[in-house]
């Protein structure tokens, strides 16, 4: 199963129009089920997900990783590169057809750079 795992830093006030741009799996080669998990290192960011002509998720506040609130002990788990947990935090799923482009847009309107950690799993359907 093809997988894209990456952490991308997005500058203050900036937009990354496609976190998966340049990946070998940005465009579907065969019909595939795509599962996506994304998280930010701090609050205030927004994500939009599109697969081909399907809007998988309209702009939403990106879930947070590495903050003390996520840990009952009150200690931050990490600060930058904890990936979404598979399968628990793979909140988005769609079917991509050959030639469909995966677009994960990440907007950071805050005053500081924020990391986006994401996992994309592509499972060919065999069709």
Residues present in the chain in total: 127
Strand partners, 118: 6, 38
87 preceded by a cis bond (ω within 30 of 0): yes
Residue 61 pLDDT: 98
Residue 126 pLDDT: 87
Q: What is the pLDDT of residues 83-105, one digit of tens each?
A: 999 999 999 999 999 999 999 99
| DSSP three-state, residue 112 | coil
Q: What is the pTM of this model?
A: 0.89
Say yes or no to pLDDT of 111 above 50: yes
Say yes or no to pLDDT of 32 above 60: yes
Domains for the chain: give ranges and CATH numbers.
3-124 (2.60.120.680)
Q: Do residues 10 and 38 lie in contact, with contact meaning Cβ atoms separated by under 8 Å?
A: no
What is the percent of the chain with per-residue pLDDT over 70, rounded to a whole number?
A: 87
Structure tokens that stand for 87 in this block: 């399968």
- Cβ-in-10-Å burial (0-12, 13-18, 19+) of 73 comes to exposed
């Amino acid at each position: 199963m093809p997988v894209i795992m990456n952490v991308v830093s997005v500058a203050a006030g900036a937009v990354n129009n496609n976190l998966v741009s340049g990946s070998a799996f940005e465009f579907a080669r065969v019909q595939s089920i795509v599962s996506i998990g994304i998280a930010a290192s701090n609050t205030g960011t927004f994500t939009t997900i599109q697969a081909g002509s399907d809007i998988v998720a309209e702009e939403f506040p990106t879930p947070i990783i590495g903050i003390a609130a996520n840990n009952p002990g009150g200690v931050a788990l990490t600060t930058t590169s904890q990936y979404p947990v598979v399968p628990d935090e793979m909140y988005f799923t769609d079917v991509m057809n050959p030639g469909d482009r995966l677009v994960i847009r990440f907007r950071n309107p805050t005053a500081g750079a924020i990391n986006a950690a994401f996992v994309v799993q592509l499972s060919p359907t065999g069709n």
